[in-house]
Amino acid sequence: MDERTRADVERAEAALVEHYPRLVRLTYLVLPPSTGRHRRVLTAHGLVQRALPRARLRRPDGGLPAQRGPAAEPGYDVVRLRALRLALAYEGRPLWGPAALPQVWGLRLFPRVGGAEELALDQALSAVPAPVRAALGLWHLEGLDEDAARSVLARAGVEEPDAAQRAAAQLDRETETGAAALLNSAEFDPCTVQTRPTDLLRRRQRVRAALALVAVLAVGGAAAGLLSGDGDRTGRPPTTAEQALDPGRLLRTPNEAWTDTSRVDFTAWPVRGRQAGDRELLGRALRVWAAPPADARIMTSAGTSTRPPDHPPQLLYAGQIDAVTVVVFYDGERLVRYAEPEGATPTLHFARVDDADLTSGAALVIGRGNGWMRYLLAPWVSDVGVRDLLAPAGPVHGLHVTPDAVTDRIPVPPEGGTGCGHWPAAQFRPSTRIAGTGVNPPFLLTDLNDLVPVHLTSVPPGGAPAARAGEATGTPALQGWARTACSLGTLRGAGVRSVDNWAFAGQRLPEDSGSATWVCSRADTWRGPGSVTLHFLPPTTRPAEPGRIAGRARDTAACSSFGAPVVGNVHWRAQSGKWYLLAAGSHGVGGIDATGGVRVSGHTNTLAAPAGRNAPDEVVGRLRSGGTVRALRP
């Protein structure tokens, strides 16, 4: 039934070749995520190659030659529909057999790793059926509207295309950044892949044929020399890659180097841990880093490469943490934590830490469990304790630290949004022995599910953003963090380096209701881009009452030393029951205009006007230097 004339097949083949990456990406999305990325990559390529229809052996219409005019169904539509049918048919079926061709022996293929948002979307996609994934792909990868997508889904055999599109729309709304941008990222591109070897020992055991054995020995012999770290016995010098896997070449910083150095970062950390001299353990950790086994768990902070070592890294720790053997390396750009639970497969965690400093290089997460974690401390940390950000007047509870600089267990911040109950943060006091720094104030770090904690800072009212950020250990800073800390939960796993609270405006409220503060929380990542959240903090009798989110923005310079002015607005209810539109702008905003449900203009950086609770609004700030800036949306 699917057979076409030779002209149809030629058009289909041309469309397949021209749009091959699009077709493979769509097919990869529809295939079951539970089967693993390696198998999905191979199967997606195999199904698209099988989607080419076959030509009939006889001429249609009584033997007349097929006309070469425009086809009723374009070639691309043919191969897309066939590929979609094949992918939908694999829901709940193992991805093996002829459909999984082409096969790749000895290697595992993975699309490039994305960030926390891509991972969250991939997890959400694994929880919905294939027709829902197909609907998203037709919208965001193929650019079809709902009517066209419904038609394609129906022709592909989906029994309820409308239900599939409704579920897809719901998932789309729940995706904070938007599924369109994420589905077009490298995380979902099976044509741009990374390679890793399979289990080399098991593969050798299964090779029996003489010709295959010769091939394995030819390739595997060189690999064995590389992985053993012993080099070539013929006398040739070891290669750079072999040196990187030699535990005897690991860099080790002297214990007291941190007291007299121009770089107060991870390069100044000495080696800690009772197994720092265990060459067998260190070699094993390096080999797993270079070629992770198929069942190894790999975790990455956003924007961090998982490439193998290309030079001997620095050793920071090797020892036992809560019955788990842990090794930590630093290669000048990344921290790599190797964890080897007893009787379980190893875990690798990669985190980007380039350009660290005295605060952001003060600790790393050396162990983690259910509701707790431990820090490994920098040598310049003289004292550490834990405080609850939601109790700004509360005490700092001291922590016991082992001789290897590992802390007691510290509670992790709870999951949740508004009203999170408590938010632990560690308060560090640096040593005065660091050359040239003098007396250093204490600083706060908090855990956001990454390998390195996040530095919390604050700018007081009237200060300039970011460039003059101070430590968040003073009373005003702690009071501000008590009302904004719960919003940190949205930043988990995003590779955040620091978060700064900047009180960019104060505002007298209508009806003599006191004063409110407008705060911009800026999160800067290790990879560069930052995001901001605007908070409106009205007067309250409860120190930890969360403020209201007044606006958000991603990949922005707002609220930084390089950023443009910022404006936020909220609808606020006075004690009388009357609703007002409130707006405020940062330095540089000389006036604010509001349109929509209310039309009003002000000539300062704050605005208050009566307005209905749900009245639409469009708020724009006028800059003193000329130009305008729109208010951020929640």
Choice between 509 and 53, residue whose per-residue pLDDT is larger: 509
Task: Render pLDDT for 428-460 as a digit per residue (tens, 0 to 9).
Answer: 999 988 755 555 789 999 999 999 999 999 987
- Whether the per-residue pLDDT at 227 is higher than 70: the answer is no
Neighbouring residues of 16: CB distance < 8 A, sequence distance ≥ 6: 23, 48, 51, 52, 75, 79
Comparing 34-43, 202-211, 317-326, 381-390, which segment has the lowest mean pLDDT?
Answer: 202-211
Q: What distance separates the 2 farthest-apart alpha carbons in the chain?
A: 96
Q: Residue 467: pLDDT band by 50, 70, 90 thresholds?
A: low
Determine the pLDDT at residue 409.
Answer: 96
Question: What's residue 34's pLDDT?
Answer: 64
Asked, as a colleague might, if the bond just before 102 is cis with ω within 30 of 0, I would say yes
Q: Nearest CA to 133 among 16, 25, 48, 45?
A: 25
Coil, helix or strand for 366? strand
Domain-wise residue ranges, the chain: 6-194, 247-356, 372-563, 564-634
Say what percent of the chain tops pLDDT 90. 50
Give the model's pLDDT for residue 169: 86
d(CA 338, CA 345): 11
Q: What is the pLDDT of residue 177?
A: 58
The chain-wide mean pLDDT, for the chain, equals 82
Assess contact for 544 and 391: CB atoms under 8 A: yes
SS (H, E, C) 443-457: EEEECCCCCCCEEEE
Taking 90 as the threshold, does the pLDDT of residue 55 lie above it? no
> 193-197, 487-491, 521-525: which has the minimum mean pLDDT?
193-197
Coil, strand or helix: which one is 604? coil
Lookup: tokens for 414:
């709870």
In whole angstroms, give the CA distance from residue 585 to residue 550: 12
Mean pLDDT of 55-79: 49
Q: Give 270's Cβ-side CA count (13 Å radius).
A: 14
What is the per-residue pLDDT for 241?
Answer: 75
DSSP string over 306-335: -PPPSSPPEEEEEEEETTEEEEEEE-SSEE
| The predicted structure's pLDDT at residue 129 | 86
Show the CA angle centred on residue 40, arms to residues 34 and 41, nearest 5°.
Answer: 150
Look at residue 414 in the predicted model and tell me its pLDDT: 82
Copy the structure tokens of residue 191: 């044509």
236 has a pLDDT exceeding 90:
no
CA-nearest of 500, 486, 492, 505 to 565 is: 505
Higher pLDDT, residue 466 or 538: 538
With cut-offs at 50, 70 and 90, classify the pLDDT of residue 275: very high
**Among 161-170, 444-453, 499-508, the least confident range:** 161-170
The radius of gyration of the chain from alpha carbons, rounded to an integer in Å, stands at 29
- 302 contacts 353 by C-beta, under 8 angstroms: no
Q: Give the per-residue pLDDT at 64.
A: 33
The pLDDT of residue 12 is: 76
Give the Cα separation of 289 and 308 in Å (integer). Answer: 6
E strand intervals along 133-230: 193-197
